Amino acid sequence: MTDDVVVVGGGIEGYVAALTAALEEPVADVRLLVRDDGRFCHEPGWIDLLGYPPADGDSAGDDDAGPVREPLQEPFAALSDLPADHPYSRAGVEEVRRALSLFEELSGYEGLDSDANALVATATGAVTPTFLYPDSVASGLASDGRETLLVGFERIVDFDAALAAAKLDEFLPYDVGHTTIELDVEVGGAEPAKRFAEVFDDNEELDGELPARRAVAGKIRNELDIEPRIGFPAVLGRSAAEDVRSDLEAILQADVFEVPLGPPSMPGLRLADRLRSELDDAGVAVETGVTVTDVGTADDRIASVEVAGGSAEGDDLRERYEGEQFVLATGGLGAGGLRADRERIREPAFGCHVTQPADRADWVAEGFLDDQPFARAGLAVDDEFRPLDADDTPEFGNLRATGRVLGGADVAAEQSTGGVAVVTGYAAGQLAAEW
């Protein structure tokens, strides 16, 4: 059997590419090959568009540049200044808008009504610009000037509410208070964030007495002054997160929001769940637990991919998927979509050419948070998002690359990770559906 579009890779860009193709061309057979939901564990849940003017990639060790930069207020206005090989430039400004608006619809996120960036508080008490955000973040925007109470849980160690509040209080023009509470949650060997989310989803009784949501509210009640909003570490449920928040809001009579943490990120996993149900509704066939092991080619085109794995039966499963159009959405170095040995950074699924510094010693900068050359390594593409070989000709006529596997931008530094995933996933999905 031959699919019309085969998307390889299960991050935001892969989900968006598959959804876009399926929605664009409802009769098309679209298949999405996913290794696991691990990539969403690393997603903060919000979608950056462009937080800072792009780094030039050369500022490592440049004392003049320094770490102090002003975030962009109007990200759209800055898009036209981006270099030609930036993924947004490949897509075009209008495509950026259309992509975000489709994503807003699919995800239920907020933020597109205003063309401006929002500022959000981070778990370590910094403030960072973002663009689209889930409901669970909406009432907590740092750029919304209302007083805030931050609540920490002793066992959720990624978020020290007292420290974060002290830092935020110092430079935000309103008061940020804090309290840290102990919840008697038996974590055992589980990941604390997942265990807490479960406790809130199921509203488990704590200490054999109060249900979790009431117990938390009870412990905060006395600490709450006149603050109209309360921020928690992002562990307030996964499947029933909306109920958890609205229960807490009803008891506490204040808005409740979350501060994203490191993996496993509940807002990231909720986004995965949401997009996954959209994929099901759109009729996309999703294969989970699979990795591409071989690629069949004919006449400079991809004919098929062979995968190994299998979600339930163990890893002996091998399957070959033939397709007309393929989308590469396997992510960057962090996700395994790019992989380095001692000599080169490679793209392991299709063997595409990777633009990178020639010498391994030049992959990394001297300081951890300097502009990292490895973050800019990736595939160069043409205007149809087809990966280019070393001579700038398309590797394959029917393969498009999206998201973090692309080079040409340090998306973590410029705060465009989610936006680049959404926009390039959308563009590739459209092009693949048009074939």
Partner 1 sequence: MGYTPHVMVLGGGVTGTAIARDLAIRGLDVTLVERGRLTDGATGRMQGLLYSGARYADTSQPVAAKCYDENRTLAEIADHCVEETGGLLVPTDADEATVESIVEACEDCDIPAEALTGEEARSMEPALDEGVEGAVRVPDATVDPFRLTVATAKSATEFGAEIRTHTEVTDIHVEDGAVTAVTVERDPEPTGRPHPEDSEGATADSTSPDGDDPDTVPDGGKQVPGASGGPGAVPPGETDMPGMPGTTGEERPSRPTAGTERLEPDYVVNATGAWADEVAGLAGFSFPMHRSRGAMVITEDQPVGMPVSLGATPGPVRTVVPHGQHAVVGATNDPVADPDDLDGDGDDADRLLADLTGVVPALDDSRLLRTFWGVRSGPPRGDGEGRRFALVDHADRDGCWGMTTVVGGTLTIHRLVAERVADHVCGTFGISRECKTDELPLPGSEDQEVLDAVMDTFGLSSPVYDRTRERLGSRTPEVLDTDGPNPVLCEAESVTRAEVRDALDDATGGAVDLNDVRIRTSATMGACQGGRCAHRIAAELHPEYELGVIEDALDDLLAERWKGQRHALWGDQLAQAARNYDFHASTLGRKYRFEVAEREDSDGIALDGFDDGPVTGGADQPVGWGMRR
Site for partner 1 in 86-125 (CB under 8 A): 110-111, 113-114, 116-119, 122-124
Q: Does 172 bind partner 1 (CB under 8 A)?
A: yes
Q: Are 404 and 413 in contact, with CB atoms under 8 Å apart?
A: no
What is the closest distance, in whole angstroms, from the C-beta atom of residue 273 to partner 1 in the complex?
19
Nearer to partner 1, 42 or 353 (CB): 42
Crossing angle between the packed helical segments 93-107 and 417-434, to the nearest 10 degrees: 100
Hey, is 216 helix, strand or coil? helix
C-alpha 212, offset from chain centre: 29
Instruction: Note whether 166 binds partner 1 by CB under 8 A.
Output: yes
* Residue 412 binding partner 1, by CB under 8 A: yes
Backbone angles phi, psi at 430, to 5 degrees: -65, -50
- Residues numbered 265-284 forming contacts with partner 1, rule: CB under 8 A: 265
Question: Least Å distance between CB 166 and partner 1?
Answer: 6
229-233 and 210-211: which strand pairing? unpaired
**Residue 31 Cβ vs partner 1, minimum distance, rounded to whole Å:** 26
Q: What is the CA radius of gyration of the chain?
A: 22
- Least distance to partner 1 from the beta carbon of 139, Å? 6
When the beta carbons of 319 and 362 are compared against partner 1, the nearer one is 362
CB of 242 to partner 1, least distance (A): 15
* 3-state DSSP assignment of residue 189: coil
* Least Å from the CB of residue 282 to partner 1: 26
- The minimum distance between CB 382 and partner 1, in angstroms, equals 25
What SS3 class is residue 272? helix
Shorter beta-carbon distance to partner 1: residue 170 or 207: 170
194 binds partner 1 (CB under 8 A): no
CB closer to partner 1 out of 6 and 413 = 413
**Terminal-to-terminal C-alpha distance of the chain:** 18
Is residue 403 within the footprint of partner 1 (CB under 8 A)?
no
Closest approach of Cβ 170 to partner 1, in Å?
Answer: 7
Select 173 or 208, whichever has its Cβ closest to partner 1: 173
Contact flags string 17-56 toward partner 1, x per CB under 8 A: -------------------------x-x---x---x----
Site string for partner 1, 383-402 (x = CB under 8 A): --------------------
CB 94 within 8 A of CB 118: no
Using the minimum distance from each CB to partner 1, give the nearer residue, 175 or 243. 175
* Among 363, 395, 393, CA closest to 377: 363
Residue closer to partner 1, measured from CB, 325 or 402: 402
* 204: Cβ contacts below 8 Å, ≥ 6 apart: 198, 211, 212
Among 63, 64, 84, 188, indicate the residue that binds partner 1 (CB under 8 A).
188
Assigned token pair, 177: 């208070």
Minimum distance of partner 1 from residue 240's CB (angstroms): 22
Question: Reduced to 3 states, what is the DSSP secondary structure of residue 73?
Answer: coil
Lookup: tokens for 46: 């919000």
CB of 158 to partner 1, least distance (A): 7
Would you say 36 and 10 are in contact if contact means Cβ atoms under 8 Å apart? yes
Residues 342-361, interacting with partner 1 (CB under 8 A): 342, 360-361
Cα gap 409→87, rounded to integer Å: 8
CA atoms of 195 and 187, how far apart (whole Å): 6
- In terms of DSSP bridges, do strands 345-346 and 339-340 run parallel, antiparallel, or are they unpaired? antiparallel
What's the CA gap between 271 and 238, in Å, rounded? 10
Binding mask 222-261 for partner 1 (x = CB under 8 A): ----xxxx-------------------------x----xx
Phi, psi of 45 (to 5 degrees): 100, -30
Burial of 60 (0-12, 13-18, 19+ CB in 10 A): middle
Task: Report if residue 368 touches partner 1, rule: CB under 8 A.
Answer: yes
Task: Rank residues 157 and 390 by Cβ distance to partner 1 and give the closer one.
Answer: 157
How many residues bind to partner 1 according to rule CB under 8 A?
91
